[in-house]
């Protein structure tokens, strides 16, 4: 069966510091991968998605970037965090359909 | 761009009763997919039910069922015999086009009272 992992689960970072959040999927090959941000406990905003290694599409111009160095690994990064980057970050995967499965999420607080 | 509207920010229901959550969407296409996701206090997003637009029959998963009205672009979720564990934020989602992206509504916070 497929599983999706995210880490860390919780992160507190100062403004201006770098960020790296990791997402990995097990039990499947060549999944579609997605990064979402959920602010204030409501609404999911799609940040990035990837249909293959090295293929990243950005949905919203912002202070973040994403990379997919391996088939089942998806990384969300920032060089310098802003206060507005605080939120709950969710990674999801799907095969070639719309049914997405989510990881447990990372709660990021920028202080 | 597609939009998904959940007009009920919060709802409450008594345990064992039935509740219906509303969702409407906007599209000019005929082929698409609709989903309801549940996010309990743990914040884990859980897929509850899915509906393909080309299927006329409403989807059902145990106590969860949908009322899909394609002409009205409406996709409501009915929860029967509500349980305390149903307390969660519920999101309606719409999928269409390439890259298998989903558009989510803003969510409805459902509280099941004992």
Residue B44 to residue A51, Cβ atoms within 8 A = no
| The two structure tokens encoding residue A41 | 């406990």
SS3 A84: helix
The angle formed by the CA atoms of residues B101, A89 and B1, to the nearest 5 degrees, is: 30
Cα Dmax for chain A: 39
Shortest distance between the Cα of B106 and any Cα of chain A, in A, equals 4
The overall average pLDDT reported for chain A is 93
Given pLDDT bands bounded at 50, 70 and 90, which one contains residue A60? confident
Q: CA torsion sign, A42 to B51 to B63 to B61? A: negative
What residues in A contact B46, CB-CB < 8 Å?
Answer: 102
Spatial separation of the C-alpha atoms in residues A78 and A86, rounded to whole Å = 12
Q: Are A74 and A68 a contacting pair, CB within 8 Å?
A: yes
Given pLDDT bands bounded at 50, 70 and 90, which one contains residue A1? confident
The overall average pLDDT reported for chain B is 94
**Identity of the residue in B96, B100, B102 whose CB atom sits nearest the CB atom of A96:** B100
Spatial separation of the C-alpha atoms in residues B41 and A55, rounded to whole Å = 33
User: Once rounded to an integer, what is the mean pLDDT over residues B93-109?
Assistant: 90
Does the pLDDT of residue B104 top 70, yes or no? yes
Q: Within an 8 Å CB–CB cutoff, is residue B75 touching chain A?
A: no
Given pLDDT bands bounded at 50, 70 and 90, which one contains residue A96? confident
Does the pLDDT of residue A10 top 80, yes or no? yes
Given pLDDT bands bounded at 50, 70 and 90, which one contains residue A61? low
SS3 A72: coil
pLDDT per residue as tens digits for the range B59-73: 999 999 999 999 999
User: How high is the pLDDT of residue B74?
Assistant: 96
């Amino acid at each position: 069966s497929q599983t999706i992992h995210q880490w860390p689960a919780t992160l507190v970072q100062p403004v201006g510091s770098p960020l790296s959040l990791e997402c990995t999927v097990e039990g499947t090959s060549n999944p579609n991968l997605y990064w979402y941000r959920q602010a204030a406990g409501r609404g999911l905003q799609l940040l990035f998605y990837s249909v293959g290694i090295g293929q990243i599409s950005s949905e919203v111009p912002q202070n973040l970037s994403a990379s997919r160095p391996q088939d089942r690994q998806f990384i969300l990064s920032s060089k310098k965090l802003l206060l507005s980057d605080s939120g709950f970050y969710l990674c999801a995967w799907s095969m070639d359909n719309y049914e997405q499965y989510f990881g447990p999420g990372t709660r990021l607080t920028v202080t | 761009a597609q939009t998904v509207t959940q007009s009920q920010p919060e709802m409450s229901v008594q345990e064992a009763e039935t509740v219906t959550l509303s969702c409407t969407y906007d599209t000019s296409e005929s082929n698409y997919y609709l989903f309801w996701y549940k996010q309990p206090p743990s914040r884990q997003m859980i897929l509850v039910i899915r509906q393909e637009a080309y299927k006329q029959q409403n989807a059902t998963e145990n106590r969860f069922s949908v009322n899909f009205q394609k002409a009205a672009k409406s996709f409501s979720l009915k929860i029967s015999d509500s349980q305390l564990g149903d307390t969660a934020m519920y999101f309606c989602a719409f999928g269409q086009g390439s890259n298998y992206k989903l558009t989510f509504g803003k969510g409805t916070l459902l509280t099941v009272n004992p």
